[in-house]
Structure 1
Amino acid sequence: MILAGAVSVKDLAEYPGHADPGFTLRVYAHLMPGSHDRARKAIDDRLFRPRLISH
């Protein structure tokens, strides 16, 4: 699916002529398998990644 390929919802909404990207997301989000796992990983990677310590 296009949304799973890191295309923004706003950009995707333009193709079928949707004025509201939220509508596009509500219509097609169920087609994104594993989105909860990807979201959890993205948050974990951002919040819990090791930080470089400068001396």
Structure 2
Amino acid sequence: MIPKPGPGEKYKESREDGMHALRHFYASVLLDAGESIKALSTYLGHSDPGFTLRTYTHLMPSSETRTRQAVDSMFRKARKPPTAP
């Protein structure tokens, strides 16, 4: 929470609130949807995708989860009976 300013003071800026928090939310939604780090880096205006990766890597789905989902999907497709013409 941004503290109320004293007499004659301006509101103090807080990275946890406002536009910075909105950028993190935006990044987390895109990463959850499978967007690439390179594209996200461009969208956020970062000049180095490595910076974006270091900043947001904790929000990326784990490779173990993606691997398990890929294999499960392949087996589900293999088990479906062929559809009649």
State the TM-score bracket (shorter-chain normalisation). Answer: 0.5 to 0.7
Higher-Rg member (1/2): 2
Structure 1: gaps (5+ residues): 51-55
- Matches of 1:41 and 1:26 in 2, distance apart? 24
- Matches of 2:50 and 2:71 in 1, distance apart? 25
Q: What is aligned with 1:29? A: 57
Q: CA deviation at 1:4?
A: 2.3
Pick 1 or 2: higher relative contact order, CA cutoff 8 A, min separation 6.
1
Output the TM-score relative to the length of structure 2.
0.40
1:41 equivalent to 2:68? Answer yes
Q: Percent identity?
A: 43
1:18 equivalent to 2:30? Answer no
1:16 partner amino acid: L
Output the TM-score relative to the length of structure 1.
0.55
**4+ long deviations beyond 4 Å:** 42-45
| Equivalences, count | 50
Structure 2: gaps (5+ residues): 1-27, 79-85
Computed over aligned residues only, the root mean square deviation of the Cα atoms, in angstroms, reads 2.8
Q: What is aligned with 1:7? A: 35
